[in-house]
């Protein structure tokens, strides 16, 4: 029997022990439960991560063993750090995708455009798109780290070096696909297709007006300097989502939404996404 990926969290403050005491009390209850049911916790695999500047960074114990403090943990394939920035996730994803590209290059002495496109979409692109809502890059260095995967498509012998990677491999640019993935996830959440309550991430806007759709989201005003917060999935996607027309949003299934948004962008263009074959 296993109980993996269990999280315990609470809000803590330096001037109060209430939050940290509650965490330790919950840990004590977990220990009592594990002793009762003879399902021992492996404390060496348990990690504690302190988040925020106002964190007292208290030590916690599970039974008699102190839980190790970690700056970085891997959670369901996504690397989470104590500064909440996606840099580590972007680097790990880019390295994994680059390894797949090298394997393709070593395996095939010559590969045409169509075959490379199939291999790229099946084995390379999923590495940099996995759970992109949680690890989408927004800093310049992180974006460059991911974009080097697109540039590496010139490794295919039939492609000219001056050809744009997206056109060469028959693929869409990664920024466009990240934005598309964000919008698809919003559609799923608002239509109850994910096990997530919409109000946990979004606030519906009451100012729908006569234009647009009835699923518009309210964008909260953030304090200046909170670049990290405004780049989170629940914030960065709102403006683009609200600009979509009603016939794109008011569909029943995810596949219908994908088809509508692809058709809308190809027909009308959408900033840098104009003309892309999504």
| pLDDT tens column, 225-271 | 667 788 889 999 999 999 898 989 999 999 999 999 888 888 776 54
Residue 166 sits in the same domain as residue 180: no
Residue 218 sits in the same domain as residue 146: no
> For the chain, what is the domain count?
3
Question: Model pTM?
Answer: 0.78
Last residue of a domain, one of 153, 170, 187: 170
> Is residue 3 included in any domain, yes or no?
no
Residue 194 sits in the same domain as residue 245: yes
Last residue of a domain, one of 170, 195, 230: 170
Residue 66 sits in the same domain as residue 127: no
> Is residue 278 included in any domain, yes or no?
no
> Is residue 5 included in any domain, yes or no?
no
Distances (CA, A) of 245 to 41, 210, 211, 213, 215: 51, 12, 8, 6, 10
What pLDDT sits at residue 238? 92
> Is residue 6 included in any domain, yes or no?
no
Last residue of a domain, one of 138, 155, 170: 170
DSSP strand pairing (72-75 vs 61-62): unpaired
Q: Give bridge partners of residue 48 from the DSSP assignment.
A: 69
What mean pLDDT do residues 53-60 have? 91
Residue 245 sits in the same domain as residue 190: yes
Residue 197 sits in the same domain as residue 165: no
> Is residue 76 included in any domain, yes or no?
no
Residue 53 sits in the same domain as residue 131: no
> Is residue 8 included in any domain, yes or no?
no
Q: What is the pLDDT confidence band of residue 111, given thresholds at 50, 70 and 90? A: confident
Distances (CA, A) of 181 to 36, 130, 157: 44, 10, 31
> Is residue 146 included in any domain, yes or no?
yes
DSSP strand pairing (65-66 vs 68-69): unpaired
What pLDDT sits at residue 274? 44
Residue (of 64, 149, 160, 144) closest to 98 by Cα position: 149
Range scoring the smallest mean pLDDT among 55-59, 103-107, 212-216: 212-216
- Where does residue 36 fall: left (phi above 0), alpha (psi -120 to 50 degrees), or beta otherwise? alpha
Residue 155 sits in the same domain as residue 180: no
As a whole number of angstroms, the distance between CA 24 and CA 132 comes to 33
Tell me: the pLDDT tens digits for 128-175? 889 888 888 988 899 888 888 877 766 554 544 433 344 444 456 788
Residue 158 sits in the same domain as residue 100: yes
Distances (CA, A) of 117 to 58, 109, 122, 136: 51, 16, 9, 23
Residue 252 sits in the same domain as residue 189: yes
Q: How far is CA 20 from the centre of its chain?
A: 28
As a whole number of angstroms, the distance between CA 206 and CA 211 comes to 13
> Is residue 1 included in any domain, yes or no?
no
Strand boundaries in 23-107, DSSP class E: 47-48, 61-62, 65-66, 68-69, 72-75, 78-81
Side-chain half-sphere of 100: how many Cα atoms within 13 Å? 20
Residue 194 sits in the same domain as residue 263: yes
What pLDDT sits at residue 170? 45
Which carries the bigger pLDDT value, residue 114 or residue 224?
Answer: 114
Domain ranges, residue 62:
18-70
Residue 162 sits in the same domain as residue 90: yes
Kindly state the helix (H) or strand (E) to which residue 228 belongs, with its residue range.
Answer: helix 227-230
């Amino acid at each position: 029997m296993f109980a993996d990926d269990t999280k315990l969290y609470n809000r803590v403050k330096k001037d109060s022990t209430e939050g940290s005491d509650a965490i330790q009390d919950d840990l004590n209850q977990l220990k009592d439960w594990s002793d009762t049911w003879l399902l021992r916790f492996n404390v060496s695999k348990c990690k504690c991560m302190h988040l925020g500047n106002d964190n007292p960074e208290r030590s916690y114990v599970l039974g008699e063993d102190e839980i190790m403090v970690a700056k970085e943990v891997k959670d369901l394939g996504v690397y989470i750090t104590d500064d909440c920035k996606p840099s580590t996730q972007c680097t790990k994803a880019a390295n994994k995708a680059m390894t797949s590209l090298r394997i393709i290059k070593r395996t095939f002495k010559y590969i045409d455009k169509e075959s490379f496109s199939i291999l790229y979409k099946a084995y390379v692109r999923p590495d940099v798109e996995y759970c992109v809502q949680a690890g989408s890059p927004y800093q310049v260095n992180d974006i460059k780290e991911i974009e080097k995967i697109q540039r590496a498509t010139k490794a295919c012998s039939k492609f000219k070096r001056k050809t744009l990677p997206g056109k060469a491999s028959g693929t869409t640019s990664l920024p466009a696909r990240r934005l598309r993935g964000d919008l698809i996830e919003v559609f799923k959440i608002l239509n109850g297709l994910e096990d997530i309550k919409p109000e946990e991430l979004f606030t519906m806007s009451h100012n729908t007006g006569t234009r647009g759709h009835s699923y518009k989201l309210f964008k909260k005003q953030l304090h200046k300097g909170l670049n990290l917060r405004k780049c989170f999935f629940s914030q960065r996607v709102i403006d683009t989502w609200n600009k979509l027309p009603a016939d794109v949003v008011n569909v029943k299934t995810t596949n219908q939404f994908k088809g509508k948004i692809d058709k809308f962008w190809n027909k009308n263009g959408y900033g840098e996404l104009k003309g892309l074959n999504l």
